């Protein structure tokens, strides 16, 4: 008889294509996702000191190099899995990394999501950006870009700044101007 479950049973061990790997020493790697802001080494170190930006994750794999396939998707590490069509099964950090449950050595409280506007984790709210695409700076005239190229709101809709729409397909516009001049246009669904 079948019944509802929160998580289906998975046999222990490393499996790939229904074949079990034997005598596997797990390979571990630290994954530090990027949110598009402060891409330099010093900028990311500043994020660590100010408690901003994405968290660092530990990823396990059966062989070296396979951890790339096991890294969390952007929707997973940011806590916005409700906006993607079907997120893959996630590993339970409380089960596989129990030290994260206390919060002392990492981990977050359940229910917190990443806000790409404030670059911090917190409860979901109407003005939260659930994703942001930042303009690249080809001439390095600024240390970082103050405004994103496009954002996704809490409902999963993308909004894009006017100069980036089809009238300027191959031209990057400098986006350092007052926020009053910045008008958003709806650019599509989920």
Which pLDDT score is estimated for 136?
64
Which pLDDT score is estimated for 71?
74
Which pLDDT score is estimated for 178?
38
Q: How many CA atoms lie within 13 A of 179 on its CB side?
A: 3
Instruction: Report the chain (190 residues): mean pLDDT per 10 consecutive residues.
Output: 64 70 73 75 80 79 66 80 68 60 65 87 90 69 66 86 52 44 47
Look up the pTM and report it. Answer: 0.63
Q: Is the dihedral of CA 158, 160, 164, 165 positive or negative?
A: positive
């Amino acid at each position: 008889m079948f019944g509802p479950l929160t998580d289906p049973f998975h046999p222990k061990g490393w499996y790939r294509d229904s074949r079990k790997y034997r005598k596997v020493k797990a390979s571990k790697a630290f994954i530090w996702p990027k949110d598009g802001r402060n891409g330099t080494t010093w900028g990311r170190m500043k994020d660590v000191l100010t408690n901003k930006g994405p968290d660092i994750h530990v990823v396990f794999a059966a062989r070296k190099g396979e951890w790339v396939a096991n890294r969390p998707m952007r929707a997973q590490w940011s806590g916005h899995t409700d906006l993607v069509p079907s997120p893959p099964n996630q590993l339970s950090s409380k089960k596989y990394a129990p030290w994260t449950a206390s919060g002392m050595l990492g981990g977050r409280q359940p229910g917190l999501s990443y806000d790409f506007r404030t670059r911090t984790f917190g409860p979901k709210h109407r003005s939260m950006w659930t994703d942001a695409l930042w303009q690249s700076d080809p001439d390095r005239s600024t240390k970082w870009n103050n405004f994103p190229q496009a954002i996704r709101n809490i409902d999963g809709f993308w909004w894009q700044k006017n100069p980036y729409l089809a009238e300027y397909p191959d031209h990057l516009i400098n986006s350092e101007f007052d926020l009053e001049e910045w008008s958003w246009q709806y650019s599509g669904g989920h």
